[in-house]
Amino acid sequence: MAEQRLDKWLWCARLVKTRSGAARLITDGKVRINGERAPKPSRLVRDGDVVTTVKLGRLSVVRILDAAERRGPASAAQALYEDLTPKDVPPPDRPLTQARTGKRPTKRDRRLLDAFRIGKV
């Protein structure tokens, strides 16, 4: 396998939706290669490298098996890596989305909430 940019590989392997999203994930320090923080999106990866990402509070660990010339279907993307993510990782403490119960707050309710937050009530 030839070397490939990390941001491009993450995008081709469909671990992120966009290449700019991959670059943002890397610059935010949420991607590690072989246990070391990836310094920049242009870092070259090759087969055998272990890539660890944390996206939306979820841990993902994969071993690179191959590079891709271009982004293809999901079935082809899954052939680019081996999933090493531990299955016993507990879910995040808080849900990623809050369950809505009841009706939407009225204007009066929002004003009361705002007053409570700044300590007037």
Q: What is the CA 110 to chain-centroid distance, rounded?
A: 33
| pLDDT score, position 119 | 78
Distance in angstroms (rounded) separating the CA atoms of residues 53 and 45: 14
Beta bridge partners of 45: 4
pLDDT in tens, 71-121: 999 999 999 999 999 887 666 666 555 566 678 888 998 898 888 888 775
Distance in angstroms (rounded) separating the CA atoms of residues 33 and 22: 14
Contacts of 16 (CB under 8 A, 6+ apart): 10, 22, 25, 55
Nearest to 22 by CA among 50, 49, 42, 45: 42
Domain that holds residue 12: 4-118
Q: What domain count does the chain have?
A: 1
pTM: 0.72
Give me the CATH number covering residue 106.
3.10.290.10
